[in-house]
Amino acid sequence: MLQRMLGAKGPATSALGLGCMGMSDMYGPSDRAESIATLHAAVDAGVVLLDTGDFYGMGHNEMLIGDALADAGFTRSHKRDDVQISVKFGAQRDPAGNWIGFDARPSAVKNALSYTLRRLRVDYIDIYRPARLDPNVPIEDTVGAIADMVKAGYVRHIGLSEVGSDTLRRAAAVHPIVDLQIEYSLISRGLERDILPTCRELGIAITAYGVLSRGLISGHWSKEQGGGADFRAHSPRFQGDNLDHNLALVEELRRVAAEKGVTVAQIAIAWVLAQGQDIVPLIGARRRDRLAESLGALDVTLTSADLAAIERAVPKDSAAGDRYNAHAMASLDSER
């Protein structure tokens, strides 16, 4: 497995990480046994970074990962230190799963961390981060509380998620920030304007989620999919004329991928990998076949001609619809 650094002051990690959210939440039903098998297959393949959130399935995802890491088949060949667990916190949900707020107060940071450690059955978290900026709490207070947990040995590194340049600078003045988790794909390139240059100036890596835009540019999505508990049914890019437009972009990308002899998903992931050694894509596979396909992106080398062809197929800002609904977009510090 190729490796990349998580920032100037962070650890080495695998060139691809595994985003585990879909194993518990947001994308409809998943298979527990297949999820655990996929986690094991990822680590066996050299994927070090496992990304989760304490609100994914209201704790279910953390417990699932904990079970996978404690499984006898895993412990025979791996140790806790063979993986890096990245955890987001702060989002609040009610028993029905509705989103009801955000809390990143220092007391909430330490309380959430204590539950996360218990659910994962580990002694420390490798990277701990607020999932969003809490508008009611200075970022200095939130990062300071995590820094306390670093000093106490419960957290190794501090990350952030979906914040803008000003917040990055203020946070980094309190404690080193190893990475910013933010959506980045061929059709979500807003961070290139200001946030990515700021991260590079400050020595902060990017862990890119949504590299396949939640399956939209995977080459596997069709108009008949979605609905029910799948939150993509309410995502602007998956609706009406927007979906027709975006799937037409995918077909253009499919032609480029076919000429290269790779799949659409592989060329889309390879494009993100090619944007810099300080970028680590998170692949959201919840099945072993999708994992294997995504890992194949590591074998794809894109030439300047390939990158130009991809840009012609999917020009910057060519997607129709925002990446979240209006309410969610308004809450993103990274979009201000």
Q: Residue 289 belongs to a domain with what CATH number?
A: 3.20.20.100
Q: Which residues contact 166 (CB under 8 A, 6 or more apart)?
A: none
Q: Which residues contact 51 (CB under 8 A, 6 or more apart)?
A: 17, 18, 19, 20, 21, 86, 88, 181, 207, 209, 282
Decide if 100 is inside a domain: yes
∠47-48-49 over CA atoms, to 5°?
105
For residue 96, give both structure tokens.
């029905």
The 10 Å CB-count burial string (b at 16+, else e) for 61-98 is: bbebbbbbbeeeebeeeeeeeebbbbbbbbbebeeeee
State mean pLDDT over 103-118.
98
List active site positions. Answer: 56
Mean pLDDT estimate for the chain: 96
Decide if 237 is inside a domain: no
Decide if 141 is inside a domain: yes
For 233-246, the pLDDT digits (tens) are 889 999 999 999 99
- Residue that the structure tokens 């998620």 belong to: 161
Decide if 317 is inside a domain: no
Give the pLDDT band of residue 225 (cuts 50, 70, 90): confident
Decide if 334 is inside a domain: no
Q: Give residue 231's pLDDT.
A: 78
For 60-87, the pLDDT digits (tens) are 999 999 999 999 889 999 999 999 999 9
Decide if 289 is inside a domain: yes
State mean pLDDT over 133-143.
98
For 148-177, the pLDDT digits (tens) are 999 999 999 999 999 999 999 999 999 999
Decide if 118 is inside a domain: yes
**Structural domains of the chain, count:** 1
Q: Which residues contact 45 (CB under 8 A, 6 or more apart)?
A: 1, 291, 295
Residue 226 has pLDDT above 70, yes or no: no
Residue 101 has pLDDT above 80, yes or no: yes
Q: Which residues contact 103 (CB under 8 A, 6 or more apart)?
A: 90, 92, 134
Residue 4 and residue 277 in contact, taking contact as beta carbons nearer than 8 Å: yes
User: What phi, psi does 89 have (nearest 5°)?
Assistant: -140, 170
For residue 66, give both structure tokens.
């904990």
For 21-59, the pLDDT digits (tens) are 999 988 888 999 999 999 999 999 999 999 999 999 999
Residue 178 has pLDDT above 70, yes or no: yes
Q: Residue 295 sits in which domain range?
A: 3-216+265-300
Residue 176 and residue 304 in contact, taking contact as beta carbons nearer than 8 Å: no
∠83-84-89 over CA atoms, to 5°?
135
Q: Give residue 214's pLDDT.
A: 93
For residue 99, give both structure tokens.
């989103």
For 277-311, the pLDDT digits (tens) are 999 999 999 999 999 999 999 999 999 999 999 99
Decide if 296 is inside a domain: yes
